[in-house]
């Protein structure tokens, strides 16, 4: 039996992240990145937001959203570097940078969400 690479698993993470980020990030980015800063809508009170974030389900969803989106980005960015800049020969560095970043980001995200409560 031939060896198995982890490429398929990375691809699964990429895909899941693609769905998660497409479903949830636009709304969040629209609200917090554009609508509140520009004053189109008034931001929710701290108390309300805290309550929402403290809900275990929200924390779970946010964790997966952060982690998967990071892996999504890492994977896609890796291939953009390969193909766009034609630096496939540097793949070890690129991999370390991309997925390493995603792992660090995910751990940070988990820590953040954990320590609020």
Partner 1 sequence: MNDRITMQVARYLPEGDAELSYQEYEVPYPREWVVLDGLNYIKDRLDGSLSYRWSCRMGICGSCGMTVNGEPKLTCATFLADYAPGPVRIEPLQNFPVIRDLVVDTGDFMRKLTSVKPWLIREEEKPLSEGEHLQTPAELDQYKQYSMCINCMLCCAACPVYGLDSEFVGPAAIALAQRYNLDGRDQGSKLRLDVLSDHEGIWGCTFVGECSKVCPENVDPAGAIQRYKLTAAMDSLKSFLMPWRGS
Partner 2 sequence: MYTNYHPRWHRKPMSTYWWLERRSYLAFILREVSSVFIAWLVVFLMLLVRAVGRGDASYQQFLDWSARPLLVVLNIVSLSFVVFHAITWFNLAPKAMVVYVRQRPVPGHLIAASNYLAWAVASGLVAWLVLGG
DSSP string for residues in the chain:
-----SHHHHHHHHHHHHHHHHHHHHHHIIIIIIITTTTSSPPPPHHHHHHHHHSHHHHHHHHHHHHHHHHHHHHHHHHHHHHHH--GGGHHHHHHHHHHHHHHHHHHHHHHHHHH-
Stretch that binds partner 2, among 2-10, 32-40, 88-96 (CB under 8 A): 32-40
**How many residues of this chain interact with partner 1, rule: CB under 8 A?**
17
Distance of closest approach, residue 69 Cβ to partner 1, in angstroms: 18
Q: Which of 24, 64, 97, 103 binds partner 2 (CB under 8 A)?
A: 24
100 scored as a contact of partner 2 (CB under 8 A): no
Q: Which is nearer to partner 2, 5 or 86 (CB)?
A: 86
CA neighbor of 69 nearest in space, from 102, 26, 32, 107: 102
Binding string, 6-45, against partner 1, x = CB under 8 A? -xxx-xx--x------------------------------
List contacts with partner 1 (CB under 8 A).
1-5, 7-9, 11-12, 15, 76, 79, 82-83, 86, 88
């Amino acid at each position: 039996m031939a060896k198995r690479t982890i490429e398929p698993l990375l691809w699964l993470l990429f895909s899941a992240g693609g769905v998660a980020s497409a479903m949830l990030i636009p709304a969040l980015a629209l609200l917090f990145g554009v609508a509140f800063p520009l004053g189109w809508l008034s931001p929710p009170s701290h108390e309300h937001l805290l309550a929402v974030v403290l809900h275990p389900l929200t924390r779970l969803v946010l964790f997966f959203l952060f982690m998967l989106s990071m892996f999504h980005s890492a994977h896609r960015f890796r291939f953009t570097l390969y193909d766009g800049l034609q630096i496939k020969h540097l793949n070890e560095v690129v991999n370390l940078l991309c997925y390493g970043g995603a792992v660090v980001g995910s751990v940070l995200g988990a820590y953040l969400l954990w320590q609020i409560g």
